[in-house]
Amino acid sequence: MRTMRRLARVAAATAAAGFALVVYVYLTLPDVRPLAHENPRTTAFMQVRAREAEAEGRTPHWRQQWVAYNRISPELRRAVIIAEDDAFWQHDGIDLDQIRESMEVNFERGEFVRGASTITQQLAKNLYLSPSKDPIRKLRELFIARRLEAELGKRRILEIYLNVIEWGKDIFGIEAAARTYFGKPASALGPAESALLAGAIINPRALDPANPPRRLLRRQEIILRRLQASPSAEARRPSRPARA
């Protein structure tokens, strides 16, 4: 009986601590409302890269040029959604089906080999958080993603995402990526170029569009095939993102 009471007290204390942690995380979330009409000047990931550059004795410098949603190639927008989050237009920031599948894969292999972050979650991480896999960081990411969905809407979320994500060393955003790798603006990207850039997002420093390794070319082929088979990422039923 004494053991049961002790276990009950431990369980109650654990539950109280967990509740307090959730409340703390929620109350310390960033205010995302200004993003509805203001473009972010920097991101948490840019600051990480700046610190890395300073540690190497380099002056932080990156290429970035903001471009409006309607000046980004529709092929590129569709390719990114196919590659990263094919249910983007349907979910509310969190894809529960993807989370379930990822948990099963990770459990079967006994290690973290597959994530389940939506584009909205990736934006939350890029803007405000660190690249770590800390559980508290992940909890903050989920809360921020829901706030982004509530305050911004899908088009604005995708616009910001495409303008701030890393696309190679010192390259942030689709306009800089398009001009660096193809010598043209983001509005002029074709299907093959779009599929190549979309395929690189998963690891932009290892999957270099200027000298694409076999893995990137394989991802490009998968994305391009899906891109050509479907006329509209907004209209079609979601399938699974490219994970090759």
Of 169, 132, 167, 166, the closest CA to residue 58 belongs to: 169
Check pLDDT > 90 for residue 47.
yes
Give how far the C-alpha of residue 134 lies from the chain's centroid of Cα atoms, to the nearest Å: 16
Joined tokens for residue 138: 């992940």
Per the domain annotation, does 19 fall within a domain? yes
> Per-residue pLDDT for 152 more than 50?
yes
Q: Could you tell me which residue, 155 or 24, shows the higher pLDDT?
A: 155
- Name the pLDDT band for 28 (thresholds 50, 70, 90): low
Q: Which domain holds residue 13?
A: 1-30
Asked if residue 231 belongs to a domain, the reply is no
40 pLDDT more than 70: yes
pLDDT, tens digit (0-9, with 9 covering 90-100), for 181-213 = 999 999 999 999 999 999 999 999 899 999 999
Residue 6 in domain: yes
Q: How many domains does the chain have?
A: 1
Q: End-to-end CA distance of the chain, in Å?
A: 54
pLDDT digits over 61-113, tens only? Answer: 889 999 999 999 999 999 999 999 999 999 999 987 766 665 554 445 444 33
Residue 24 within any structural domain of the chain: yes
- Asked whether residue 181 is domain-assigned, the answer is no
Compute the mean pLDDT over every residue in the chain, rounded to the nearest whole number: 83
Q: What is the pLDDT of residue 200?
A: 97
User: Quick check: is 17 in a domain?
Assistant: yes
Residue 22, domain member (yes or no): yes
pLDDT exceeds cutoff 50 at 161 = yes
Residue by residue, DSSP assigns 1-52 as -HHHHHHHHHHHHHHHHHHHHHHHHHHT----GGGGTS--S--HHHHHHHHH
> Does residue 220 form part of some domain?
no
Has this prediction a pTM greater than 0.75? Answer: yes
Where does the pLDDT of residue 1 fall: very low under 50, low under 70, confident under 90, or very high at 90 and above? low
